[in-house]
């Protein structure tokens, strides 16, 4: 199947689900079995429905005190104005991290827990895109990107006399010296035996 978005000038976009039925003889040819309108025009007027929004205090994206503001909250306020709905804000427990996380077994904490368990319809507050999280929740399009610059000390040059020693670690050098010592001992024993045999 494929999701198709149509937009006629002067009208709201509407979404259609195109159900594709593949022919058994040729996997390239296909035809549209049926066309279903996923969202009716009523979807653009939610009749004052109340949606739960999970968020945390994380300026400048979401400010929960003294009044609710921030870039993310302004987006949902505009959504509410355009689609005639209201929002009720909820917050994750204080003993959990701000955003929370989703574990490999599907359990979650923080905002992600409220969304994945259905306690909240929307989660916001400077959330970041993550391939692991995408398996459990749907993220909107990214509207802001941030960069992180890491400052680290400048690397120091090693002394030149260490250059011959650096190719191998300490254990390798110890084993090499031990092998040389054993070889010298064996040669010494063999030479003494040969020397004593010549005298007799």
Residue 149 DSSP code: -
In percent, how much of the chain has pLDDT > 90? 13
Confidence of residue 97 (pLDDT cuts 50, 70, 90): low
Calpha distance 90→92 (Å, rounded): 7
User: What is the C-alpha separation between 123 and 116, in angstroms, rounded?
Assistant: 10
Entry field: residues in the chain: 200
Report the distance separating Cα 156 and Cα 159, nearest Å.
Answer: 9
Q: Which domains does the chain have, with CATH numbers?
A: 46-135 (3.40.190.10)
E strand or H helix that includes residue 197: helix 170-199
How many Cα neighbours within 13 Å face the side chain of 75? 16
Q: What is the pLDDT of residues 160-197, one digit of tens each?
A: 887 778 888 889 989 999 999 999 999 988 888 876 66
pLDDT digits (tens, 9 = 90+) for 51-94: 899 998 888 888 887 788 888 999 989 989 988 999 899 888 86
Nearest-Å Rg of the Cα atoms of the chain is 34
pLDDT of 200 higher than 70: no
- What is the pTM for the complete model shown? 0.54
Which two structure tokens, joined as six digits, stand for 6?
Answer: 């149509």
Q: Which residues does residue 20 pair with via DSSP β-bridges, in sequence order?
A: 32
- pLDDT tens digits, residue range 114-154? 988 889 988 988 888 777 787 788 888 888 887 888 899 98
The pLDDT tens digits for 111-122 are 888 988 889 988
Non-local (6+) Cβ contacts of 96 within 8 A are 109, 110, 113
């Amino acid at each position: 199947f494929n999701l198709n978005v149509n937009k006629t000038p002067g009208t709201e976009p509407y979404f259609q689900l195109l159900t594709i039925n593949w022919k058994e003889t040729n996997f390239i040819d296909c035809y549209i079995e049926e066309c279903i309108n996923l969202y009716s025009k009523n979807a653009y007027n939610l009749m004052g429905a109340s949606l739960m929004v999970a968020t945390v205090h994380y300026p400048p994206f979401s400010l929960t005190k003294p009044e609710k503001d921030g870039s993310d909250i302004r987006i949902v306020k505009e959504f509410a104005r355009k689609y005639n709905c209201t929002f009720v804000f909820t917050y994750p427990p204080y003993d959990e991290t701000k955003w929370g996380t989703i574990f490999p077994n599907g359990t979650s904490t923080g905002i992600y827990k409220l969304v994945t368990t259905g306690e909240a319809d929307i989660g916001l507050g400077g959330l970041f895109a993550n391939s692991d999280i995408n398996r459990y929740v749907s993220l909107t399009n990214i509207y802001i990107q941030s960069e992180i610059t890491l400052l680290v000390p400048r690397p120091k040059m090693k002394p030149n006399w260490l250059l011959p020693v650096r190719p191998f670690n300490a254990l390798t050098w110890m084993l090499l010296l031990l092998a040389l010592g054993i070889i010298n001992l064996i040669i010494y024993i063999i030479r003494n035996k040969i020397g004593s045999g010549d005298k007799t």
